């Protein structure tokens, strides 16, 4: 298949159609987009792939009749056998006639460019830039607060030593306690600035540790399950930082579904194919999903959940730093966090390159 070797590496989904409009070839990007294996795709009719395949027929007929290329912009298609939320695809579709028919009878090239994915990448880049600016602002404020806090605590200790009244000493204890609380918050704000140490890591040993911690904390009220693809290779990451990432997201998931009739959180690992991370295309990447059955994240605040100090928890029950720190660590690993949410189903997907971007696996 040397004629299609180049198609194996590109991020555009490509199908080759034969004379009977059957699929004779599908590249890995098409497998990923259409959520079907090459074995399932090759030999299938378009009607078996799309519920509304007839939307492709006008351009397909024109390409065959006029031996030319035709493009359908912002074409909405729905995959067969998928639930409504997972079935919708918004694509730019180009159909091109092959002048030199291949031995397998391929006559048309069908290219799908996933608009939803392009919009998602642009949106995530914009959010990441905004969050980075917010983190820098918060870090600068934290530095400004850190020194006066030490002076405030020291002055309260000196004042306490001069006081004879237990009631007044109680007030100084409040000052010292609040200064310590703010100092701890400042330290947490400054922690993500530490750069990761990339080491080959068995991600499932790391996740087993997270599962143990989560079951110890929430096991009496929540069902916490794991669904791991044990065939996955090791990933280059900072194990300490990545443990904190998954722990922060999983803890957030447990808190979000606490009011559900039967709170449930699931940790899952898979291979993600043909993904773009930190503006680099990867044939394969690690996908860690954390899924809960809580009330969901309202659409209007979804872009803000990674902001430092942003929280929807009641006052005093959350610092608003967990997801912000998670995103910072993942960004330092040249990865991304994606969120899909609706009532009863929220999924955080942590995507990481298996290798450091300086390696040859990235394209």
Bridge partner list, 112: 13, 93
User: pLDDT at position 348, please?
Assistant: 95
Residue 361 has pLDDT above 50, yes or no: no
Distance CA 311, CA 54 (A): 46
Number of domains in the chain: 3
Beta strands in 11-98 (DSSP E): 13-17, 23-26, 69-78, 88-97
DSSP 314: P
Which CATH number goes with the domain that contains 214? Answer: 3.30.565.10
pLDDT of residue 228: 95
Residue 360 has pLDDT above 50, yes or no: no
Mean pLDDT of 218-240: 93
Domain that holds residue 161: 120-192
- The residues that bridge with 276 in the sheet, in sequence order, are 281
| pLDDT of amino acid 313 | 62
For the chain, what is the mean pLDDT? 83
Q: Hey, how many other C-beta atoms are within 10 angstroms of the C-beta on 256?
A: 21
Strand 108-114 and strand 199-201: the pairing is unpaired
pLDDT bucket at 269, cuts 50 / 70 / 90: very high
52-74: pLDDT as tens digits: 888 888 888 888 888 888 888 88
pLDDT for 52 equals 87
Looking at residue 264, what is its pLDDT? 94
More confident residue, 95 or 362: 95
CA 252 – CA 245 distance, rounded (Å): 11
**pLDDT over threshold 90, residue 4:** no
Residue 268: predicted pLDDT: 95
Average pLDDT over residues 129-153: 75
Domain boundary among 157, 192, 227: 192
**SS3 state at 92:** strand
> Do 34 and 138 share a domain, yes or no?
no
**46 found inside a domain:** yes
CB atoms within 10 A of CB 1: 8
Structure tokens at 33: 């987009």
Q: Looking at residues 344-349, what average pLDDT do you find?
A: 93
Which of these three, 144, 166, 192, is where a domain ends?
192
Query: By three-state DSSP, how is residue 280 classified?
Result: strand
Specify whether 128 is located in the same domain as 64: no
Better pLDDT: 214 or 360: 214
**Residue 361 within a domain:** no
Q: Which two tokens stand for residue 298?
A: 């309202």
Range with the lowest mean pLDDT among 190-199, 271-280, 288-297, 308-317?
A: 308-317
Residue 329 located in a structural domain: yes
Specify the pLDDT at position 123.
67
What integer pLDDT is reported at residue 363 of this predicted model?
A: 44
Percent of the chain at pLDDT exceeding 90: 30
Span 294-300, average pLDDT: 86
* More confident call, 324 vs 348: 348
Does residue 363 form part of some domain?
A: no
pLDDT over 60 at 316, yes or no = no
Boundary of a domain, candidates 62, 81, 116:
116
Sorting pLDDT into bands at 50, 70 and 90, what band is 117? low
Residues 267 and 140 in one domain: no
pLDDT-derived band at 2 (thresholds 50, 70, 90) equals low
pLDDT in tens, 143-185: 777 778 888 889 989 988 888 888 888 888 888 888 887 787 6
């Amino acid at each position: 298949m040397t004629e299609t070797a180049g198609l194996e590496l590109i991020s555009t989904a490509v199908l080759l159609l034969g004379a009977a409009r059957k699929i004779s070839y599908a590249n890995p990007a098409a497998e990923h987009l259409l959520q079907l294996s090459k074995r399932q795709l090759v030999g299938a009719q378009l009607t078996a792939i799309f519920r509304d395949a007839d939307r492709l027929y006008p351009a397909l007929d024109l390409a065959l009749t006029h031996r030319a290329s035709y493009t359908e912009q912002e074409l909405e298609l729905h995959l067969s056998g998928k639930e409504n939320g997972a079935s919708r695809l918004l694509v730019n579709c180009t159909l091109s006639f092959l002048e030199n028919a291949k031995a397998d009878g391929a006559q048309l090239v069908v290219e799908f460019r996933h608009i939803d994915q392009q919009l998602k990448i642009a949106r995530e880049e914009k959010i990441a830039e905004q969050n980075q600016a917010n983190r820098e602002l918060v870090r600068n404020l934290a530095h400004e607060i850190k020194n006066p806090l030490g002076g405030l605590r020291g002055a309260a200790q000196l004042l306490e030593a001069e006081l004879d009244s237990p009631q007044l000493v109680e007030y100084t204890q409040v000052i010292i306690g609040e200064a310590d609380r703010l100092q701890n918050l400042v330290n947490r704000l400054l922690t993500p600035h530490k750069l990761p140490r990339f080491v080959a890591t068995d991600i499932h040993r790391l996740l087993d540790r997270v599962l143990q911690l989560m079951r110890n904390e929430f096991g009496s009220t929540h069902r916490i399950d794991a669904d791991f693809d044990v065939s996955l290779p090791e990933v280059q990451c900072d194990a300490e930082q990545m443990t904190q990432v998954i722990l922060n997201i999983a803890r957030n998931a447990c808190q979000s579904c606490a009011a559900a009739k039967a709170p449930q959180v699931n940790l899952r690992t898979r291979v993600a194919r043909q993904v773009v991370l930190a503006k680099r295309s990867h044939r394969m990447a690690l996908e860690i999903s954390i899924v809960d059955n809580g009330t969901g994240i309202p659409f209007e605040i979804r872009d803000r959940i990674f902001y430092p100090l942003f929280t929807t928890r009641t006052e005093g029950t959350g610092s608003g730093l967990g997801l912000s720190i998670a995103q910072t660590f993942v960004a330092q690993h040249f990865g991304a966090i994606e969120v899909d949410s609706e009532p009863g189903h929220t999924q955080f997907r942590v995507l990481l390159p298996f290798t450091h971007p300086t390696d040859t696996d990235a394209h």
